[in-house]
């Protein structure tokens, strides 16, 4: 077990990628405090994971709520070794031309408040505890932290801002705390949009249903998988191991201020072809095993 005796504090751990991280951290021996706004999902988590997980209700936009939660975690589990700042909302790729003029201010503020200030406030709240344990922070970025078309201008700007936050905080808190980011790719989760754009009841999964007729959803997923160099849709579980890696004191002392592109290979797609492996098996005269 790579995280025995470690304690993690994660925001947005009650659903999607965050929930997969919680499950994986527990299986690696960690105790986890989950800070999330969803009361019902937190209850379900506590029932599922028993003594290994505590759920704390709150909003990442409120420093006072984060500080109370951090104190609760420290009292309950005795310390905090890892902060995982993970809550995010998405703009559903809304382009500049489509942004309603009377909503731009609110939408900009809402996306930056949750996606960027939410991380900054979580880092501020955990700072003393993480210095004490010489712990680490891990920020969930996105392929949109590096490339276009993973969001509209608002979401893409927030995730680029998170990359800057990782680097600046890593500088400010070294050598006491390591700060790293993980730029994950897509996953079928409950990721929501900003209320100011009336996207708070949409989720990524419902978006796939909008793009593809209900009965064609599986075919739609295959289209998305076909666009990815690794050739399949990725899920929270696929990303969780990278968080264990960055949290692990055995494996990851050298890394700080880094952002790992962990997205299925969006950055190496070719100009004329997605991948360059056409004809590879024939030339090598070998068969590849099925799937990944
Ligand atoms: P999700 O919606 O399934 O999970 C997010 C969790 O955050 C939910 O449990 C929700 O209740 C909670 N939450 C939302 N707003 C909150 C707030 N203000 N305060 C407290 N809790 C709040 O989403 P997900 O897809 O697992 O997203 C996790 C992270 O992954 C986000 O930062 C997102 O930008 C990033 N990401 C997701 C994808 C994707 O395709 N799903 C791709 C790249 C990056």
Q: What is the pLDDT along the chain (292 residues), one digit of tens a residue?
A: 999 999 999 999 999 999 999 999 999 999 999 999 999 999 999 999 999 999 999 999 999 999 999 999 999 999 999 999 999 999 999 999 999 999 999 999 999 999 999 999 999 999 999 999 999 999 999 999 999 999 999 999 999 999 999 999 999 999 999 999 999 999 989 999 999 999 999 888 777 777 666 666 676 677 777 788 998 889 999 999 999 999 999 988 899 999 999 999 999 999 999 899 999 999 999 999 887 6
Number of structural domains (the chain) is 1
End-to-end, the C-alpha distance of the chain in Å comes to 24
Which residue in this structure is represented by tokens 């932290």? 145
Any domain includes 66 = yes
155 classed as catalytic:
yes
Which residue among the candidates 155, 208, 239, 243 is catalytic per the annotation? 155
* Mutational pocket test of ligand 1: of 10, 19, 165, 189, the residue with most ligand atoms within 8 Å of the beta carbon: 189
- Per-residue pLDDT at 213: 64
| 186 Cβ inside 6 Å of ligand 1 | yes
Q: Is the ipTM of this complex over 0.85?
A: yes
1 alpha carbon – ligand 1 mean position (Å): 27
| 36 Cβ inside 6 Å of ligand 1 | yes
- Per-residue pLDDT at 139: 98
Tokens of 246: 């960055």
- Per-residue pLDDT at 232: 85
Any domain includes 151 = yes
**DSSP string covering the chain:** -TTTT-EEEEETTTSHHHHHHHHHHHHTT-EEEEEES-HHHHHHHHHHHGGGEEEEE--TT-HHHHHHHHHHHHHHHS---EEEE------TT--GGGS-GGGHHHHHHHHHIIIIIHHHHHHHHHHHHHHHHT-EEEEE--GGGTSSSSS-HHHHHHHHHHHHHHHHHHHHHTTT-EEEEEEE----S-----GGGT-TT--HHHHHHHHS-GGGHHHHHHHHHHHSTT-S---HHHHHHHHHHHH-TTT-SS--S-EEEESSSGGG--SSSS-S-TTHHHHHT--PPS--
282 alpha carbon – ligand 1 mean position (Å): 43
Any domain includes 279 = no
Measure the CA–CA gap between 248 and 2, rounded to whole angstroms: 6
| 187 Cβ inside 6 Å of ligand 1 | yes
Any domain includes 282 = no
- Per-residue pLDDT at 225: 78
| 237 Cβ inside 6 Å of ligand 1 | no
Any domain includes 246 = yes
Q: Which atom of ligand 1 is nearest to the CA of 60?
A: 19
Measure the CA–CA gap between 273 and 100, rounded to whole angstroms: 36
Q: 28: domain range?
A: 7-190+234-265
pTM for the model stands at 0.96
87 alpha carbon – ligand 1 mean position (Å): 4
Any domain includes 64 = yes
Q: Which atom of ligand 1 is nearest to the CA of 59?
A: 19
Q: Which atom of ligand 1 is nearest to the CA of 236?
A: 26
Q: Which atom of ligand 1 is nearest to the CA of 188?
A: 41
Any domain includes 284 = no
Any domain includes 203 = no
CATH number at 58 reads 3.40.50.720
């Amino acid at each position: 077990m790579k995280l025995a005796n470690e304690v993690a504090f994660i925001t947005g751990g009650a659903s999607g990628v965050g929930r997969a991280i919680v499950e994986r951290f527990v299986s690696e021996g960690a105790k986890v405090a989950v800070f999330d706004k969803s009361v019902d999902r937190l209850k379900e988590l506590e029932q599922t994971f028993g003594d290994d997980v505590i759920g704390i209700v709150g909003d990442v936009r409120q420093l006072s709520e984060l500080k109370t939660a951090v104190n609760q975690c420290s009292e309950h589990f005795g310390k905090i070794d890892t902060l995982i700042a993970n809550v995010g909302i998405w703009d559903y790729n809304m382009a500049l031309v489509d942004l309603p003029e009377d909503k731009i201010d609110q939408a900009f503020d809402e996306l930056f408040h949750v996606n960027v200030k939410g991380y900054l406030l979580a880092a501020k709240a955990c700072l003393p505890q993480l210095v004490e344990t010489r712990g680490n922070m891990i920020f969930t970025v996105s392929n949109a932290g590096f490339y276009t078309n993973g969001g509209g201008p608002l979401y893409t700007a927030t995730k680029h801002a998170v990359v800057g936050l990782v680097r600046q905080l890593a500088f400010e808190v070294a050598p006491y705390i390591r700060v790293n980011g993980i730029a994950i790719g897509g996953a079928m989760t409950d990721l929501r949009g900003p209320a100011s754009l009336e996207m708070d009841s949409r989720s990524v999964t419902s978006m796939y249903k909008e793009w593809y007729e209900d009965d064609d959803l599986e075919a739609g997923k295959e289209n998305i998988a076909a666009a990815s160099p690794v050739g399949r849709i990725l899920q929270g579980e696929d990303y969780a191991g990278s968080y264990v890696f960055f949290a692990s004191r055995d494996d990851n002392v050298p890394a700080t201020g880094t952002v790992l592109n962990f997205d299925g290979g969006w950055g190496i797609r070719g100009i004329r072809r997605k991948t360059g492996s056409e004809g590879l098996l024939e030339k090598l005269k070998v068969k590849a095993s099925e799937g990944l």
